[in-house]
Structure 1
């Protein structure tokens, strides 16, 4: 007996109406839901599985996705750019297109200019950006023109922002504080560095980092926050100065960019014994720092998963043509130590 639409719906965990929408294009279906329907149809040998695959390819074909990332000199963003291109190629085949742009000048003016430039080439955009009124205004303008803009890694307050894909930064900051308070042999001074307070992800991580120490480890002294402006050299200089001014430092948490500079400073400077360092994102640089013992914990974005999820929500927004509410997609982070890299 040939499998029916009811069988496919049951196998996919959806309603029969959803299967019908995928086959007959009666209404929008989330990309991941359509993919489940396809997998169920193929697993069951459903006679219209080929048509379902055609519908999915037809729906995704030709989507043009744009991504604006931070400095190309950063290992993390270069790797993320590659992951985004791979995810877009996989999920918008056969004729989809991904454009990844890097910003070496991180001013709001440069971001706004790049947004408007890219909007003429793509159907949806995702950006890693500081929160600023000029950027919010640009997002509103593009949204009104039919180009949804998503926040990646760092959320944005723009009312017209189509959604956010990233981590729960409250958990990130408190996890970093937990690690330093538990791994440090004695209480003492703790350094903290962000790229800029305008990155909401870093601001939330900093607030949560401090709140954990107030609540659970008040015997530690969290020092005034250092600013790196996402610049490797500035981060290096600031860390060397921190080590010089506070020889009794017991911990450093890097919540933002410039980690390469911090690691260079830890290699060059005369850091106190037992210094506990926590930083973001597993790269070639941070992996080696874990192995060498210069960094104790890395709190990392799931890059490939994040890229796939972002492409899904962007494609869904294009298909919905502005009828969907803002999407908040919070992903779990991974913690790395020298024992699991």
Structure 2
């Protein structure tokens, strides 16, 4: 029917057209490991992956998306091993750990390339890293707080855990910018929230109680919902600058109400399109032994963005 319609509108190479239609598309199976599906960001991430795959008409791609329920290296390694047995290429956001390095090396030896997402794990072994420049993201958070808070005091930073290299880089960037600004701010000891809203909520309440001169909080990883809830509970009007990652229903509401100063958002649509391109290329090109990095520009969302 498509060929006949093309013929009617003046496309007369019907035979060539039919041969192209009949030619089977190359098939690929791509595997993905993300964090908790209950978090809106990762649920949205999966949706964007599927959308990017659906846009490809040059390959017949089957996706297998799995979610890790924790930060356990063992869970990540199990998921990678399982997907590695059935997929042509993998992409994963995971912690930094020697066990993951071994699994990624084993997969590489079996010609199953792995792309690290958001957090650059298995450096020197994985095929590529796609995400934000985490050092610059930390400096951006420091810049915003020091420019919007006009009274010296204490600043806090939360990271998801001690195995997230990306969070470490954000912390370094944040601390270095605050130190270089020399405006009288003091960054407190780093707090670990395990990427959970409940831990973040409880620790933020404690921070607000113990440090009346707390001026700003930067959530370098997940768990921002807890911080937003805590500052709302303690302050009837916004008094602490709060920088968080990713635009969700809760961070959007926080921006609109003034409790969130800035959201640093990952451009998921662009990331996923680039990711699918790179995964396809990795399956058809010989491994040259070179690992790459692709830094995407973050989307900055402010209260006046709406």
Tell me, yes or no, whether TM beats 0.5.
yes
Distance 1:107 1:130 in 2: 8
Q: Which of 213, 219, 222 does residue 178 from structure 2 map onto?
A: 213
**Structure 1 residue 180 and structure 2 residue 157: aligned?**
no
Structure 1 spans left out of the alignment, 5+ residues: 1-44
2:164 is matched with which residue?
Answer: 199
Change (3 A) 1:243 1:102: same
Count, aligned residues: 292
User: What's the CA shift for 1:89?
Assistant: 2.1
Work out which of the residue numbers 264, 272, 281 in structure 2 matches 1:316.
281
- Equivalent residue number for residue 226 of structure 1: 191
**Distance in 2 separating the partners of 1:69 and 1:327:** 20
Q: Aligned equivalents of 1:273 and 1:124: distance in 2?
A: 46
Return the alpha-carbon distance in structure 1 between the equivalents of residues 39 and 206 of structure 2.
Answer: 22
Contact 2:124 2:291 in 1 (8 A): no
Aligned CA RMSD, in angstroms, stands at 2.3
Structure 2 partner of 1:333: 298
The answer to whether structure 1 residue 294 and structure 2 residue 265 are counterparts is no
Aligned to 1:133: 98
Deviation of 1:95 (Å): 2.2
Contact 1:146 1:321 in 2 (8 A): no
Question: Which of 189, 193, 196 is equivalent to 2:154?
Answer: 189
Q: What does residue 248 of structure 2 align with?
A: 283
Residue 7 of structure 2 aligns with which residue?
Answer: none
Structure 2 segments unaligned to the other structure (5+ residues) = 1-10
Distance 1:159 1:183 in 2: 39
- Judge conservation of contact 1:89–1:97 (CA < 8 Å) in 2: no
Q: Does 1:266 align with 2:231?
A: yes
The change in CA–CA distance for 1:58 and 1:235 in structure 2 (over 3 A counts) is farther
Relative to the length of structure 1, the TM-score reads: 0.80
- Output the TM-score relative to the length of structure 2: 0.89
Query: Counterpart of 1:72?
Result: 37
Is 1:240 matched up with 2:205? yes
Between the aligned partners of 2:260 and 2:65, the Cα distance in structure 1 is 30
